[in-house]
Amino acid sequence: MESREHPAGFTSEPAKQPGPGVPPELAKPTPKKSDPVFTLFKEVIELIVVTLVLLIGIRFLIAEARFIPSSSMEPTLQIGDRLIVEKVSGHLRRPIRRGEIIVFYPPPAEMGGKDLSNDPLTVLGRLTGLPFLPYEPAFIKRVIGLPGDKIRVQKNVGVYINDQLLDESPYVKEKPQYDLNALGDVGNRSNHGNDLRPYKDPKLVNEPIVVPAGHLFVMGDNRNNSEDSHMWGFLDQNRVIGRACLLFWRFFAPPRYLEGP
């Protein structure tokens, strides 16, 4: 087939005809080359989305890593320790046991009355752990009282559970230097300067310290340097993040499991 010459002097290629037996309307057009910038942008977005989904899935369903910033759990946990907080048992509805070490979001009273649980950015920060999202501190303590337990603390002696002295020699740093005999004894001034008196109602001050349903009584192993239930009261189990199960980083020490009761 001969080529045709345009009036301007250019020669055009002959038009390609579809193969024999193929209708012209079904002939495939020549694919256009995609814009490399658009392709790169699309791949980056897809990578970000996949990464976020994996982060949320792992942190929400399985486990997350945590850093120990204070001495409240000495000698069991030291400043700078890094540990794994598992969440599988919580999703499987396994009951929390006395003696276990748990990580949780502190009660709003401890944080000056601020409850960030309904803030969308804070919730996203909880799920992903991304550093540029709002930071919500978490506490780590040992479970001492379970729902229904009666708690009493005697200065220089220890903790009584249902009038039985609890054997804490394997983990506690020293004897408590305070007494807790009734709800009115719960309270102190926090490190944030908040005056914590959760049970100052005259109807409650003389009531025994009995853990209500759906709550826990938690304490740090370093009893005299720990902001815990002896200051802000019972912990709602809905604020529990998970159970500390593995200490995977400490200078000059091998990894070890954090044994429960």
The residue extents of the domains of the chain are 50-257
Contact 228, 220 (CB under 8 A): yes
Angle (CA) 225-230-231 rounded to 5° is 80
Note if 87 is an active site residue: no
**Spatial distance between the Cα atoms of 182 and 209, rounded to a whole number of angstroms:** 5
Contact 201, 223 (CB under 8 A): no
**Spatial distance between the Cα atoms of 217 and 230, rounded to a whole number of angstroms:** 8
Residue 1 has what pLDDT? 47
Task: Considering the candidates 28, 32, 42, 72, report the single residue annotated as catalytic.
Answer: 72
Neighbouring C-alpha atoms within 13 Å toward the C-beta of 132: 0
Note if 89 is an active site residue: no
Give the Cβ contact number of residue 108 at 10 Å.
14
CATH number for the region 50-257 comes to: 2.10.109.10
Question: Which pLDDT tens digits describe the chain residue by residue (261 residues)?
Answer: 444 555 445 455 555 555 555 565 555 555 566 688 888 888 999 999 998 888 888 888 999 999 999 999 999 999 999 999 999 999 899 999 999 999 999 888 777 777 777 788 888 888 788 878 887 889 999 999 999 999 999 999 999 999 999 999 999 999 999 999 999 999 987 766 677 888 999 999 999 999 999 999 999 999 999 999 999 999 999 999 999 999 999 988 889 988 766
Task: Considering the candidates 87, 141, 173, 229, report the single residue annotated as catalytic.
Answer: 141
Contact 158, 168 (CB under 8 A): yes
Residue 28 has what pLDDT? 59
Contact 95, 214 (CB under 8 A): no
Q: Scan for tokens 């579809």, then name that residue.
A: 18
- pTM of the predicted protein model: 0.81
